[in-house]
Amino acid sequence: MFLQQLINGITIGSTYALVAIGYSMVFGVLELINFANGSVYMLGAYITLMIYVNMLGNFWLSFALSLVLTGMVGYCIDRFGLRRLRSKNVPKVTGLITTLGISQVIEHGVRIFFGSETKAFPNMIDFGYVKVAGATIGSSQVIILCTSLVLMICVSLLVYKTKLGKAMLAVSQSSEASKLMGINVNGIISLTFILSSSLAAVAGTMVGMYYQNVDASMGFSVGMKTLASAVLGGVGVLPGAMVGGLLMGIFESLGASYVSSGYRDAISFAILIAVILVKPTGLFGHKQINKV
Amino acid sequence: MNRLFEFCARNGWKITAVVLAAMIVFPFVVTSSYVLRIAITVLMYIMLSLSLNLLVGHLGLMSMGHAAFWGIGAYTAAILSTRFNVSSLGTFLAAMVIAGVFGMILGLPVLKLKGYYLTVVTLGFCEIIRLVELNSMNLTNGPLGISRIPSLNFFGVVFKSSRSVYFVALALVVLTVVVIYRIVNSRIGLAIMSIRDDDIAASSIGVNVFVYKVMVFIISGMIAGLAGAFYAHYISYIDPSGFTTGQSMDLVILAIFGGLGSIPGAILGAAVLTILPETMRALMEYRSLIYGIVIVIMMMVKPDGILGKVNFKYIRQRQQMEKASGKEGAQA
């Protein structure tokens, strides 16, 4: 029972981690919570499904197309929604409201064009299951976990080991100084948005396969939970977001089975609040020095 | 536009009086119950937007949990009036006290948090409160909600017609505006705004940051609770789906759309964004889509909200200075 819940928790937690990385990266470079990320997660799953059902009939090709398209959506969010705001030097809350507005546009756009009912989603990664010590491990769980881990490692390598990643870290420290060093700041920010959106789309599609259904409101609650995971780990710190996402999934799954399924999300949020109160910068966050 | 603002600054009190008079006459001129219903909703959202504006705009703490206080107020009023037959005055006071207590419960521990950590904690708080409302069957009747909440009644007089309810709402809004105006234009207000601009600098000149933050949290929660109690009596049926985190975000949009830190802005923002979806009823499901687009465009065109950058006090002072220097010039 415990092992089973732990495995379920890790599986779902690994998808949370993918989305949480997106929040964390955007926060790192822009100091902005991108509330549209949850809707992009839902949009990714929808685009995969719609291309698969209505146009191509080949799931993996649809999945790939969906990643490209959501990446473009991410680019557009930054290019048309936020870049103008940056150049005007406006208060940070403005960007927050813009992303809230965009998430509303995406969510209701999906409702209008694809219908608001829950849709069945094919599970293409179900190849049976194995039993280990009384717990059932499905092939989809293994594949989801492995995909997430591989992606997380790739993103970490990209951010911490390449020149591009160095540029990203530089922008997150000071966009002014990076501009003076010849870094294309807007390009880096666009790249961050494209990456975070594609990661969200991967997570959305995998969760769609895992639960075998998608609906237009799935993005909202996951958006909040993943935002919470990013904060739990310490915003702007990638390993923090990963650990935060996994922990969030585990809390949720254990809380649902041992305490009460109705209070599942309440438990995860209560733990989040408790952690932040004890360690106000999240698990892996650095203490910031305030200058007056 | 600037001349309009200058005119408003010069005639601040007159315009307030005219608007108030118009609001009093309004229900006698317009008798359509549909329009009155919208007007009452607008008034309630003005209360919420003003109270949130005090927290976000004047104190500078981004809260995504304001709907929780609203819900706490609504549930307090609903439970007291359906089970214990408490009159509206009692439920209003109780809703304020309980929402204020929750404001303190949330405020005390989280106030050492900075920026987005605080935002996420308030968001989590809102979600927890909603789940408690959803799951505790014997207290809140769970997802079924509480129905048949009695209409507003003060001292044995029942306020049933739309017009009388409208006046109750108007009275509550006037009360809120007066309270917030008095707070903002006092030493307390100056202290609060100095905390917004820089809390370390504020504490270095002797502002007790902690006390003021808790105070604003409590006041803001109390006003939202009052709005919730009014809402429960007015709508006569409440369920947890009305007080979600999504609602909290909508409230934040109201406050920022109007202009942070501006009382007329908060009023205007709530009015515009409540009436706008109503005028688009014919567009059916496209309504929410357009609402989102309007917000995105608005933030691009006027990033500080409608009245965010307009400081009437400053404009008025400048006018007085110009007048004074003009007089001196004439004498010389």
CB contacts < 8 A (A, B): 130
Phi, psi of A71 (to 5 degrees): -60, -40
For residue B261, the chain A residues in CB contact (below 8 A) are none
The tokens describing A271, both together, are 């733990």
| B12 or A163: which leads in pLDDT | A163
Whether A217 and chain B come into contact, CB under 8 Å, resolves to no
Spatial contact of B213 and B195, defined as CB atoms under 8 Å apart: yes
Residue A287's pLDDT is: 64
What length is written for chain B?
332
Encode pLDDT of A51-75 as tens digits: 998 887 788 899 999 999 999 999 9
Residue B329's pLDDT is: 62
Where are chain B's structural domains?
2-321
Neighbours of B264 (CB within 10 A): 19
Residue B330's pLDDT is: 62
Give, to the nearest 10 degrees, the angle between helix B88-110 and helix B115-135: 140
DSSP string, B105-172: HHHHHHTT--HHHHHHHHHHHHHHHHHHHHH-HHHH-GGG-B--PPPEEETTEEE-SHHHHHHHHHHH
Encode pLDDT of A175-228 as tens digits: 888 889 888 989 999 999 999 999 999 999 999 999 888 888 888 888 888 888
Type of residue numbered A144: I
CA distance A81 to A76: 7
For chain B, which ranges sit under pLDDT 70?
Answer: 1, 327-332
Query: A224 and B117: CB-CB below 8 Å?
Result: no
% of chain A surpassing 70 pLDDT:
98
Least-confidence region, from A232-236, A285-289, B43-47, B267-271:
A285-289
Per DSSP, helices labelled H in chain A are 2-30, 36-50, 59-76, 83-88, 92-114, 139-161, 163-173, 175-180, 185-211, 218-233, 238-258, 264-278
Distance from the first to the final alpha carbon of chain A: 53
Q: HSE-up of B187 (CA within 13 Å, CB side)?
A: 3
Global pTM reads: 0.86
Q: HSE-up of B269 (CA within 13 Å, CB side)?
A: 33
- Whole-number average pLDDT of chain A: 86
Angle at A86 between CA A81 and CA A87, to 5 degrees: 110
Q: Assess whether pLDDT exceeds 90 at residue A5.
A: no
For residue A102, the chain B residues in CB contact (below 8 A) are 292, 296
Q: Assess whether pLDDT exceeds 70 at residue A289.
A: no
CA distance A35 to A23: 8
Find the closest chain A residue to B134 by CA distance: A262
Residue B117's pLDDT is: 79
For residue A103, the chain B residues in CB contact (below 8 A) are 292
Residue B332's pLDDT is: 55
